[in-house]
Amino acid sequence: MQYRLLGRTQLKVSVIGFGASPLGNVFGETDPKEGERAVHMAIDEGINFFDVSPYYGLTLAEERLGKALQGYRGSIVLSTKCGRYGTGEFDFSARRVFASIDESLRRLRTDYVDLLQAHDIEFGDMKQIIEETVPAMRQLQQQGKVRYIGVSGYPLTVLMRVASSISVDTILSYCRYNLLADDLDADLVPFAEAHGIGLINASPLHMGVLTNQGAPAWHPAASEVYRAAKEAAEFCRLHDADISELALRFCFDYMRVATTLVGMATQDRVSKSLRAFQTSADPQMVRQVRAILAPVFNQFWPSGRKENQ
Ligand code: NAD
């Protein structure tokens, strides 16, 4: 495994990060015992960064991850979130932030997390995030309940607006750098580098789009994105390759983020991520797949137009 420093924090995180949302059945029913084995396998193979949230499976992912991490806490870097508690349920008040961390710590069976992130801040009131949420998170840092703090979300403009108004240690951005999108590289990376902010790249498979099984029903992209991804997956199959492996490798190679979070809940997924990490991507194959995906590249939701992100 390789490790990179997360911005100016002292956290050295594995290039493959363990995205724990599938442990909460976000992508369909998963077996808790198998999820536990996947966590242990990941740790044995050197994956040390684990990302979860109270939102994933409405606390189920935190419960399961906490159980699986018993006895391993000292050797891993643990990140959870606050502010999002359901599909349309958000509360970024200081009061909720203080209660939320105590609930998360109980579920995660620990007395601190390495990183606490305000979850999907575009759904909150920016004034409140800047004047109340982030300062409350800094108080938790002073109390020793969290080591570092960050924000997460989809619209890069919102993430950058908040991070230029108040200091944060990390930004988690999803579906902005993979075979289907790259505006993280043009917009967020220069900003983060200038401010010494650590970057976490999530959803290398575009939340399940770049897979043979396809995206989950709740996925927000336009239907032409799924059609193009299906064609790309088929092209890979015909050439004895796997679209997911190619997509993962593409992200692991990207040096301007500290880690790439892959959603995993089975040993098979962990070994596939490791295999992608160990094999190099055929540049010609990457070019051909990108050509198939080109018509839907950097197509953003909900409207598909970047300026509306
Ligand atoms: P992803 O792109 O990793 O896709 C996950 C889906 O792909 C799951 O169905 C998983 O089983 C499947 N998958 C994983 N490896 C595969 C493989 N080798 N072959 C075929 N299918 C495979 O998306 P994600 O789970 O959304 O993102 C990863 C993690 O990033 C999340 O678990 C979460 O921790 C984090 N995240 C955070 C935010 C946020 O804070 N707003 C948003 C998105 C993701």
pLDDT tens figures, 228-266: 999 999 999 999 999 999 999 999 999 999 999 999 999
- What pLDDT, on the 0 to 100 scale, is given for residue 306? 45
Band of pLDDT at residue 104, cut at 50, 70 and 90: very high
Ligand 1, CB cutoff 6 Å, lining residues: 19-22, 27, 51, 119-120, 152-153, 172, 174, 202-208, 211, 244, 261-264, 269, 272-273
Band of pLDDT at residue 267, cut at 50, 70 and 90: very high
What span, in angstroms and rounded, lies between the C-alpha atoms of 153 and 80?
Answer: 14
CB neighbour list of residue 35: distance below 8 Å, 6 or more residues apart: 22, 23, 64, 68, 265, 266
**pLDDT of 134 higher than 70:** yes
In this structure, the number of other CB atoms found within 10 A of the CB of residue 5 comes to 12
**pLDDT of 206 higher than 70:** yes
Task: Choose one of 41, 203, 246, 275 to mutate for the ligand 1 pocket test, by most ligand atoms within 8 angstroms of C-beta.
Answer: 203
**pLDDT of 302 higher than 80:** no
- What pLDDT, on the 0 to 100 scale, is given for residue 246? 96
Nearest CA among 88, 143, 134, 82 for reference residue 108 = 82
The residue assigned the tokens 């902005």 is 176
Tell me what the mean pLDDT of segment 155-176 comes to. Answer: 97
